[in-house]
Copies of this chain bind each other. A is one copy, B any other.
């Protein structure tokens, strides 16, 4: 998963510090690397990129001193392409029509075919990311303006892409016709912002204007906003349900819905569907907390923060050596013994992927003296990999793909295990089922019939 952010000041104020702050608010969408790009006064593309969390990869003070009035940024969690520095986004290039830089959230399904096509026409790729095909598609249309070349390139792509693109004197935002990933537009004074999630607009003090439509290309320049469309007509929409379940921050709005309230509703529905006889409810921090509160509210059980998360972890904690790991070191989560001993607990989490975390937590709670442990999952079983931008393991590694609920309950050692249904999930989100992607639960990927432009550059 990744996050993109962009800012454009019509009156020429510097915006790179705000892009930094925006990326900071989107940190949960990618902790592997971060980068920013802008076009300088001499029409040269400039990038600053680094490995790790935003505050390690980039230098806020350095950015605040750069006079760029239009810029884009990216936080990355590698999905397509490896994790080397050449793959850190934004990707940038000077081609014959000028400078261009792209930040991309999602996964382009037909990237490898497009790449082969372009390489056979002389293209030299610098990275192994799917995103780079967009740059070369543009460069192979040297007779068109940059914007025309961009629009024509996007119609040749299949799959998920929410983009922030820096061109000379323009910032462009675009969202694939199927609407897989969110993308929001905000404004404060003379500055327009684009952001993967609305929570980053809040952080920079901007007001959210609206979300981009699927298939929309939004061009921002000193004249204001210009909305174009990718000329591809999708049969249906595929907004990712997992954004609501886990990925997005609770203080974001997606498709007009409050992620916090969707999550609480998931907990309430889970309590109705799968009640349990525990003494209290607790959530796996931080992913299960809000659904746990909904579960407690609906079930009438007491809600306790019985598992404490180390405030300073994040991705800063490397794995201890084997010797120390075997001692049972608990790096991120610590249960509070007094709240667990002798209790029957309902433990709510958002999902079970490999099953390892759940198994370890159940074991830990048993060691702390829990009498019963009832796992409650606020989404359906994850049985299929995602090809649209979330870094899921292969089918073989997915716990719910290899075991049914009963077997999995035994595997993780809980007294009971219950999931939410897909219907409950879609209803809690509040969109028609034909607009939500539930492929990781159901295996119903984007249909082959979906059209996109053939390659005939």
| Interface residues contributed by chain A, number (CB under 8 Å) | 79
- A135 interface hit (Cβ, 8 Å): yes
- Choose among B95, B251, B318, B321 the residue that contacts A124 (Cβ–Cβ < 8 A): B95
Name the residue on B nearest A310 (C-beta): B25
| Chain A, range 92-128, C-beta contacts under 8 Å to B | 93-96, 116, 118-126
CA distance A334 to B27 in the complex (A): 14
Cβ of A122: which chain B residues have Cβ within 8 Å of it? 118, 121-123, 136, 139-140, 142
Q: Are A94 and B124 in contact (CB under 8 A)?
A: yes
Name the residue on B nearest A64 (C-beta): B321
| 9-residue interface stretch from A176-184, A222-230, A335-343, A416-424 | A335-343
- A445 interface hit (Cβ, 8 Å): no
Given contacts A60-B320, A258-B338, 12 further A-B pairs with CB under 8 A are: A13-B323, A28-B311, A55-B318, A60-B318, A64-B321, A93-B126, A119-B139, A122-B142, A124-B124, A126-B126, A205-B329, A260-B339
| 9-residue interface stretch from A301-309, A354-362, A398-406, A430-438 | A301-309
Cβ of A61: which chain B residues have Cβ within 8 Å of it? 318
Cβ of A328: which chain B residues have Cβ within 8 Å of it? 205
Q: Are A17 and B311 in contact (CB under 8 A)?
A: no
Cβ of A312: which chain B residues have Cβ within 8 Å of it? 24, 27-28, 31, 53-55, 314
Q: Mark A31-59, 1 if CB is under 8 A from B, else 0.
A: 10000000000000000000001111000
| 9-residue interface stretch from A232-240, A286-294, A380-388 | A286-294
Main secondary structure of the interface of A (DSSP, over half): mixed
- A426 interface hit (Cβ, 8 Å): no
Q: How far is the CB of A120 from chain B (nearest CB, A)?
A: 5
Q: Are A203 and B338 in contact (CB under 8 A)?
A: no
Known: A124-B124, A258-B336, A318-B61. A251 touches B308 (CB 8 A): yes
CA distance A122 to B135 in the complex (A): 10
- A11 interface hit (Cβ, 8 Å): no
Q: Are A21 and B331 in contact (CB under 8 A)?
A: yes
Q: Are B324 and A24 in contact (CB under 8 A)?
A: no
CA distance A64 to B121 in the complex (A): 38
Cβ of A320: which chain B residues have Cβ within 8 Å of it? 17, 21, 60, 64
- A446 interface hit (Cβ, 8 Å): no
Q: Are B119 and A124 in contact (CB under 8 A)?
A: no
Name the residue on B nearest A332 (C-beta): B203
